[in-house]
């Protein structure tokens, strides 16, 4: 039987299979300046003329959170969600954001609504000191109904190659420091809309539109006091699919859910959807927005550097056939 997210219309397994197929296409040829492979949180391109640095790029969207914003006529936050999501994706490789481009597609252009949406993009770029170079606004009746819109963006940053986190350095005994989420961020909204009827959406509006934060300042504060070996942005796929992307094959991550609090909106979705243990940690972020793997000796300094940060788990050796992530449920 398909899980609740697949029944709602999103197939995570199909998404993972698509990435495998993309990688197979890329095996035919790759630009010599490309560092790494497809499937990470972002892509790296060695800066021409400077072997010491690399450009870092990522593209993403806000997902069906925009349908919640449209239903509530609250448009000024989703642009910031988009920018912050992209910042976190390139932050995983320790990149500093340089500039951003947005793409807004609508069925019928309402200038006041478009301005509200883009105001969030501008606000988040300004907060980060990142240039908003521009973008594209496309009016496409027939493809989108009046009132419908989609929002996506591309970010470019820069990083010193020597500063790139190296997941090969992750070893058993390391600690996993977590930064808390404040809600669904920009994932899980197809499931949320399937479980919360339209007439109930206004009652959950604030929780559903809670912002997707940028973790840039928090991560830099931790990097100043701890040896950060690997990082993960907890987006679609939750802890179960995102954390393994930054682990060596011989390691697994162990989380203890009793170490943190699950936001009420997620507890409500778990209850309504009767989500099983693995399903909830693969569909939702369940209260963790970002993880950093550090030596155990650095863990307390890392936690002390950022209010709200906590040790969520640790790294153990992984044997053949074992899962890459294990989440122990909270004791009742």
Sorted by where each begins, the domain ranges of the chain are 31-163, 167-328
Question: Which residue would you say has higher pLDDT here, 101 or 148?
Answer: 101
Tell me which residue has tokens 């909204």. 189
Question: What pLDDT is recorded for position 17?
Answer: 78
The CA distances from residue 314 to 36, 53, 240, 294, in Å, are 26, 31, 14, 9
**In the predicted model, is pLDDT for residue 56 greater than 80?**
yes
Higher pLDDT, 270 or 13: 270
Which of 276, 278, 273, 302 has the alpha carbon at shortest distance from 290?
302
pLDDT tier, 332 (very low <50, low <70, confident <90, very high otherwise):
very low
Tell me which DSSP letter residue 41 carries. Answer: S
- Is 31-163 a domain of CATH 3.30.1330.10? yes
The yes-or-no verdict on residue 199 having pLDDT over 80 is yes
- pLDDT, residue 118, reads 97
Q: What is the pLDDT of residue 4?
A: 64
Q: Extract the runs of DSSP E, i.e. beta strands, from the chain.
A: 34-35, 43-46, 53-61, 96-106, 131-139, 149-160, 175-180, 230-233, 251-256, 288-294, 310-317, 325-328
Provide the 8-state DSSP code for 141. B
Average pLDDT over the chain, rounded to an integer: 93
Judge whether residue 228 has pLDDT over 60.
Answer: yes
For residues 87 and 38, the answer to whether their CB atoms sit within 8 Å is no
User: What local confidence, expressed as pLDDT, does residue 189 receive?
Assistant: 96
> According to CATH, what is the number of the domain 167-328?
3.90.650.10
> Which residues pair with residue 177 across a beta bridge?
292, 311
Which tokens in the block code for residue 53?
A: 């640095």
Q: Residue 236 — φ and ψ, nearest 5°?
A: -60, 130
- The CA-based diameter of the chain, rounded to the nearest angstrom, is 58
Share of the chain above pLDDT 90, in %: 86
pLDDT at 3: 66
């Amino acid at each position: 039987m398909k899980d609740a997210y697949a029944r709602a219309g999103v197939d995570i397994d199909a998404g993972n299979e698509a990435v495998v197929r993309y990688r197979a296409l890329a095996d035919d040829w790759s630009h010599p300046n490309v560092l790494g492979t497809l499937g990470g949180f972002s892509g790296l391109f060695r800066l021409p003329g400077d072997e010491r640095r690399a450009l870092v790029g990522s593209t993403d969207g806000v997902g069906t959170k925009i349908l919640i914003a449209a239903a509530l006529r609250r448009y000024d936050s989703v642009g910031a969600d988009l920018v912050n999501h992209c910042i976190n994706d390139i932050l995983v490789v320790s990149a500093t954001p340089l500039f951003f481009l947005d793409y807004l597609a609508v069925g019928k252009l309402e200038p006041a609504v478009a301005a509200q949406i883009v105001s969030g993009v501008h606000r988040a770029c300004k907060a980060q000191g990142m240039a908003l170079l521009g973008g594209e606004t496309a009016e496409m009746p027939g493809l989108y109904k009046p009132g419908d819109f989609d929002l996506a963006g591309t970010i470019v940053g820069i990083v010193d190659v020597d500063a790139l986190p190296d997941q090969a350095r992750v070893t058993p005994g390391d600690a996993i420091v977590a930064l808390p989420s404040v809600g669904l961020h920009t994932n899980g909204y197809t499931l949320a809309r399937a479980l919360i009827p339209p007439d109930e959406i206004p009652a959950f509006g604030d929780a559903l539109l809670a912002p997707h934060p940028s973790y840039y300042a928090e991560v830099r504060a931790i990097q100043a006091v701890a040896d950060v070996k690997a990082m993960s942005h907890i987006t679609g796929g939750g802890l179960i699919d995102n954390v393994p992307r930054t682990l060596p094959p011989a390691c697994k991550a162990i989380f203890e859910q009793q170490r943190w609090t699950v936001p009420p909106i997620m507890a409500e979705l778990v209850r309504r959807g009767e989500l099983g243990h693995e399903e909830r940690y693969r569909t939702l972020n369940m209260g963790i927005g970002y993880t950093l793997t550090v030596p155990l000796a650095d863990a307390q300094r890392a936690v002390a550097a950022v209010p709200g940060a906590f040790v969520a788990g640790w790294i153990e050796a992984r044997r053949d056939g074992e899962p890459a992530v294990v989440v122990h449920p909270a004791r009742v």
